[in-house]
Amino acid sequence: MADHHHSAWTTSGAPRHPLLSCALMALVSFVAAGAGAGPMVLAADAIVFHVANKCPFPVWPASAPNTGHPVLAGGGFYVPPGKSRRVDAPATWNGRFWARTGCNFTANGGVGATGCLTGDCEGRLACNGSVGAPPATLVEVSLHAKGSSYDVSLVDGYNLPVAVSATGTGADPNKCAIAGCAKNVNAVCPPELQVTATGGGGGGGKTVVACKSACLAFGLDAFCCRGAYATPATCRGTVYSRLFKDACPAYYSYAYDTTAATASGCYAQEYVITFCPSRWGDEPGDGAAAAAAAQI
């Protein structure tokens, strides 16, 4: 996909220079340790992500750095319903967050292993920098000292709604918020895009656990904004992207979606990523509440 910012999971995101990542991580640790005497406090050049789970079921959030940035929190962890996990990050971190659902890591990875129904990374709890398997809702983060930006992408599909906000001193709610969804995409996903799993809802029936994008499902240039469709003028929304847009107006519904919300120029020390914000939508003030949720 031409637009790197909303590219397919399979083509970006994995740390291609692990040694550089390690060097950066060492530098960050060095700066953090040297920044202040006394107890280990948050360095001035570090920020916090609060990863909150308001879903009525457990999720296994994951993150993967862009090239040259460190893996955060092992790249993946467990958050039970109603809980929140604190993740420290360098103030200039770039990468992605997503959530995995329906996980069982008993087999604990290995070639061809599968650990989760959605967003899986080779069956492991700690993704260690690997990107997940699409479809899954993707939070794309680009932190900068001169103002951070982030967005939510359904370019490769959807598994859960997510809202992003900033909290703490100086955070501007108008510049820092990405709202959740008005509808559950899985509930309106057409059969040709559905990812289903047995059980979950009881009765042994099939449940829709994720919804592929048309690009992921069909791989056609017109849906993926490739080839003759590699420009904003030629890659337009389709009946499929409009379905995503209707459910989640704030998200990127296809690579050249110009109507998505992008938080940009956001200055904050703390960011809140909330999976399943209330009632499939976002509520003002949710961010602070989610940040205050019981930490694990």
CB of 285 to ligand NAG, least distance (A): 35
**Binding mask of the shown chain, residues 99 to 138, with x at each position contacting ligand NAG by CB under 6 A:** -----x-xx--------------------xx---------
Please say which residue, 15 or 161, places its beta carbon nearer to ligand NAG. Answer: 15
Number of H helices, E strands in the chain: 7, 11
| Beta carbon of residue 147, minimum distance to ligand NAG (angstroms, whole number) | 30
Report yes or no: 123 and 240 within 8 Å, Cβ to Cβ: no
| Cβ–Cβ under 8 Å, residues 149 and 265 | yes
Residue 204 binds ligand NAG (CB under 6 A): no
47 within 8 A of 168, measured Cβ to Cβ: no
Q: Does 198 bind ligand NAG (CB under 6 A)?
A: no
Figure out which of the listed residues 16, 18, 44, 220 binds ligand NAG, where binding follows CB under 6 A.
Answer: 18
CA–CA distances in Å: residue 81 to residues 3, 22, 59, 100, 274:
35, 33, 8, 13, 11
State the nearest-atom distance from the C-beta of 57 to ligand NAG, in Å: 13
Minimum CB–partner distance for residue 224 and ligand NAG (Å): 29
* DSSP secondary structure string for all residues of 2-29: --GGG--GGGS-S-S-HHHHHHHHHHHH
* Residue 278 binds ligand NAG (CB under 6 A): no
276 in Cβ contact with 54 (< 8 Å): yes
Q: Provide the binding-site residues for ligand NAG, judged by CB under 6 A.
A: 18, 104, 106-107, 128-129
